[in-house]
């Protein structure tokens, strides 16, 4: 009986959140034609908060003492489900966009929104010219005071555990001297699993860890930096999964 009720609840939330998204997203795209996204960032954040709320999730944010909200940086995050970007836009206390696969820009409504608001396209085919364009757009975003969200796993987890990280984002951070903030998404796997349609009542906690300075690092430091960030992100995620399995 309880599972049947939860299934009905999930179906209702999908319909409600879907209607909200496909009505509001084109409106925000339209406004973006005439308004500077920086000046109506509050509209985008309220949109993301409603997405989180309508999906049935409760959001909590935990900031480490060494997290510096004033520094433009890369937010390196574990990736669980399609709600992750919306949760992060709610939680990160500064103007932020993200690296987004270029193919995602072709998705109706979602892709238009991502492109209009200045997300940086990551080429699906890594030709040198495309990579140079990505580096240039990344540098332009950082220079303009826009922090960027990066999912270094480059895919969504299926079991909640943090997968191996790709080096690309860390190489860019080292070469351009961009600070890194490791971010742990905890509880997302309880809320929604990639490959399943159910939306479960859950609390999603966003841990903003200490800011890591990359200035002075060399190419030899990139592999160690990658593993250090992965360990920081994994710690609260693994702790939550262990408690869940007890």
Q: Which of 190, 185, 174 is nearest to 232 (CA)?
A: 185
Q: Which H or E element spans position 149?
A: strand 147-150
Give the range of the structural domain holding residue 114, as residue numbers without chain letter: 2-245
Domains held by the chain: number: 1
**Percent of residues, the chain, with pLDDT higher than 70:** 96
> What's the pLDDT score for residue 105?
74
Res. 8: pLDDT tops 60: yes
CB 186 within 8 A of CB 235: no
Is 232 buried (19+), middle (13-18) or exposed (0-12) by CB count in 10 A? buried
Question: 58 forms bridges with which residues in the sheet?
Answer: 203
Q: Which H or E element spans position 67?
A: none
Handedness of CA 65, 88, 92, 19 (dihedral sign): negative
> What's the rounded Cα separation, in Å, for the pair 172 and 18?
35
Average of per-residue pLDDT values in the chain: 89
Average pLDDT over residues 45-73: 94
Q: Which residue has the higher pLDDT, 129 or 223?
A: 223
**Percent of residues, the chain, with pLDDT higher than 90:** 60
What's the pLDDT band for 112 if we cut at 50, 70, 90? Answer: low
CATH number at residue 47: 3.40.1130
- Residues 191-225 have pLDDT tens digits of 999 989 999 999 999 999 999 999 999 999 999 99
Q: Which of 30-44, 92-106, 229-243 shows the highest mean pLDDT?
A: 229-243
> What's the rounded Cα separation, in Å, for the pair 99 and 109?
18
Average pLDDT over residues 171-176: 95
pTM: 0.91
> What's the pLDDT score for residue 110?
67
> What's the rounded Cα separation, in Å, for the pair 63 and 183?
10
- Residues 70-94 have pLDDT tens digits of 999 999 999 999 999 999 999 999 9
């Amino acid at each position: 009986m309880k599972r049947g009720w939860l299934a009905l609840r999930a179906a209702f939330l999908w319909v409600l959140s879907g209607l909200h998204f496909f009505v509001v997203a084109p409106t925000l795209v339209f406004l973006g034609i005439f308004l500077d996204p920086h000046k109506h960032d509050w509209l985008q954040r309220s949109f993301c908060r409603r997405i989180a709320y309508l999906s049935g999730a409760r959001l909590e944010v935990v900031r480490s003492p060494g997290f510096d909200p004033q520094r433009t940086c890369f937010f390196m995050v574990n990736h669980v489900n399609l709600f992750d970007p919306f949760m992060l836009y709610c939680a990160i206390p500064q103007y932020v966009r993200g690296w987004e696969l270029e193919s995602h820009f072709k998705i109706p409504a979602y892709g238009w929104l991502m492109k209009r608001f200045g997300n940086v396209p990551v080429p699906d085919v890594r030709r040198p010219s495309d990579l140079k364009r990505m580096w240039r757009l990344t540098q332009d975003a950082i220079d303009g005071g826009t922090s960027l969200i990066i999912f270094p796993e480059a895919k969504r987890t299926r079991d909640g555990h943090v997968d191996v990280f790709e080096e690309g984002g860390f190489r860019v951070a080292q070469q351009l001297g961009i600070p890194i903030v490791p971010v742990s998404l905890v509880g997302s796997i309880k809320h929604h699993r990639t490959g399943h349609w159910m939306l479960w009542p859950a609390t999603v906690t966003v841990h903003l860890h200490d800011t890591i300075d990359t200035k002075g690092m060399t190419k030899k430091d990139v592999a160690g930096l990658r593993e250090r960030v992965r360990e920081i992100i994994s710690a609260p995620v693994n702790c939550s999964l262990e408690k869940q399995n007890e």
